[in-house]
Structure 1
Amino acid sequence: MIAKELFLENQICFPLYACSRAVTSLYRPILEELGITYPQYLVLLILWKEDGRNVKEIGKKLYLDSGTLTPLLKRLEESELVHRKRSSEDERSVQIFLSSKGKKLKEKAICVPDKLMENLDIDKKSLTDLKNDLDRLLKILSERSDF
């Protein structure tokens, strides 16, 4: 007999994992119209809010290590959406800036959240409550682990 604790449906990790995959797949066709991937969209969201962030700040905000973030930034640069610049104060620090093409893409991307909502059969308040709960969980997890 298997202990109930080991049933897949009793694991907190599985619905989080499955929902993450499902939401990402809902973004895919919307973002394909813009010519970007979901991880690229996340980087652009950071830069649209505050341009000129350094690589470490972006990695910390997205919970990505440099081995994952560097190729992602390289693809954004190859797509001419961003450019890198070494900090004049610290040569080791690289800042990421939006190109004019990256800035213009923001105008097209403004509809992404609404398009995503059209694909979800959930009211805005429930979604806001869920996001707040997930933000609290993420805060707890990030304080307790190094990821």
Structure 2
Amino acid sequence: MIKSKLEPFNLAPEQNLIMMLLWEKDGLSQNQLVEKLDKDKTNIARMASSLEKKGFIKRSSCPNDRRSVKLFLTECGKKLGKEILPITEEFNEIVCEGISEEELLQLERLLNKMKENVQTSF
């Protein structure tokens, strides 16, 4: 459902995760995105490159650490947020319908436990 809703905006669901974080806090580094999304550096770099080609973000090297790259929204990327955020809010309302806040917190705790189990097993 979300893929079809994002398609007219030339945005893949995984790319949308990066954009969501940047709409929340512009200027995150690629390393911060790696940590927050639990993705490998190569995937984040590839998605950032694609988003930059689409004109949604601009990558900038940090002056004090050349290895670190920060991502900033362009005007086009900021405008996109005004269109995408209502779509993601609607999606969240649909998938969470009939689920209490307490149940959502429990689900988050359980998923985190499962993630930890996988990380400690490999």
TM-score (norm 2): 0.83
1:57-96 aligned at under 5 Å gives the runs 57-96=32-71
Q: Number of matched residues?
A: 120
- Indicate the residue corresponding to 1:49 in structure 2: 24
Residue number among 133, 136, 140 corresponding to 2:113 in the alignment: 140
Indicate how the Cα distance of structure 1 residues 114 and 57 shifts in structure 2: closer, same or farther if over 3 A, else same. Answer: closer
- Which structure 1 residue ranges, 4+ long, deviate > 6 Å from structure 2? none
The CA deviation at 1:119 is 5.6
- Whole-angstrom CA distance in 1 between matches of 2:12 and 2:114: 26
1:122-133 aligned at under 5 Å gives the runs 123=97, 125-126=98-99, 128-133=101-106
Indicate how the Cα distance of structure 1 residues 78 and 90 shifts in structure 2: closer, same or farther if over 3 A, else same. Answer: same
Where does structure 1 lack aligned partners over 5 or more consecutive residues? 1-25
Q: Which amino acid aligns with 1:116?
A: F
The CA deviation at 1:74 is 0.7
- Indicate the residue corresponding to 1:9 in structure 2: none
The CA deviation at 1:99 is 0.7
Contact 1:84 1:95 in 2 (8 A): yes
TM-score (norm 1): 0.70
Contact 1:86 1:95 in 2 (8 A): yes
Indicate how the Cα distance of structure 1 residues 67 and 88 shifts in structure 2: closer, same or farther if over 3 A, else same. Answer: same
The CA deviation at 1:134 is 3.2
Residue number among 1, 5, 11 corresponding to 1:36 in the alignment: 11
- Whole-angstrom CA distance in 1 between matches of 2:21 and 2:92: 21
Contact 1:30 1:115 in 2 (8 A): no
Structure 1 or 2: more strand by fraction: 2
Percent identity, aligned pairs only?
Answer: 26
Indicate how the Cα distance of structure 1 residues 104 and 127 shifts in structure 2: closer, same or farther if over 3 A, else same. Answer: farther
Give SS of 2:10's match: coil
